[in-house]
Amino acid sequence: MDRLDAMRLFIRVVERRSFTEAAHDLGIPRSTATTVIKAMEDRLGVRLLQRTTRTVRPTLDGEAWYRRCVAILEDIEDAEGAFAGAEPKGMLRVEVQGTLARHFLMPGLPDFFARFPGIELSMSESDHWVDLVQEGVDCALRYGTLPDSDLAVRQVALLERVTCASPAYLERFGVPETLEELSRHRLVGIRRLSTGALTPVVFQTQDGPRAIEMAAPFSVTGPESYLLGVQLGLGLAQLPRFHVERDLAGGRLVELLRQTPPLPGPVSLLYPRSRLLSPRVRVFIDWAARRFSEREGPAPAQSAS
CA of 43: how far to CAs of 36, 67, 122, in Å? 11, 18, 35
301 within some domain:
no
Helix (H) or strand (E) run with residue 76 in it: helix 60-81
Whichever domain contains 22, its CATH number is 1.10.10.10
| 29 in the same domain as 173 | no
| 154 in the same domain as 270 | yes
What SS3 class is residue 208?
Answer: strand
Amino acid symbol at 19? F
| 96 in the same domain as 71 | no
Closest alpha carbon to 73 in 279, 269, 272: 279
Whichever domain contains 144, its CATH number is 3.40.190.10
Instruction: Give the strand pairing for 265-272 and 139-143.
Output: antiparallel
Percent of the chain at pLDDT > 90 equals 60
Its domain, for residue 270, covers: 90-159+266-296
Tell me which of 52, 81, 110 is where a domain ends.
Answer: 81
| 135 in the same domain as 185 | no
Tell me which of 37, 64, 81 is where a domain ends.
Answer: 81
279 within some domain:
yes
* Residue 254 clears pLDDT 80, i.e. is over it: yes
Instruction: Give the strand pairing for 90-96 and 119-125.
Output: parallel
Bigger pLDDT: 289 vs 82: 289
pLDDT, position 271: 87
| 248 in the same domain as 169 | yes
Q: What average pLDDT does the chain have?
A: 87
Residue pair 9/26 in contact by the 8 Å Cβ criterion: yes
* Residue 305 clears pLDDT 60, i.e. is over it: no
Domain count, the chain: 3
| 194 in the same domain as 104 | no
What SS3 class is residue 54?
Answer: coil
Q: What is the pLDDT of residues 111-140, one digit of tens each?
A: 999 999 989 898 988 766 667 776 778 889
Closest alpha carbon to 66 in 78, 88, 50: 50
| 42 in the same domain as 8 | yes
Q: CA-to-CA distance for 270 and 132, rounded, in angstroms?
A: 9
Closest alpha carbon to 264 in 180, 163, 166: 163
Task: Look up residue 102 and give its DSSP letter.
Answer: I
pLDDT tier at 151, thresholds 50, 70, 90: confident
Q: What is the pLDDT of residues 177-220, one digit of tens each?
A: 999 999 999 999 998 776 778 888 999 999 999 999 999 999 99
| 225 in the same domain as 175 | yes
Cβ burial, residue 239 (10 Å; 0-12/13-18/19+): buried
Q: Edge-to-edge strands of the sheet including 161-165?
A: 237-240, 161-165, 254-256
Region 14-33 average pLDDT: 91
CA of 19: how far to CAs of 59, 131, 132, 270, in Å? 15, 18, 17, 25
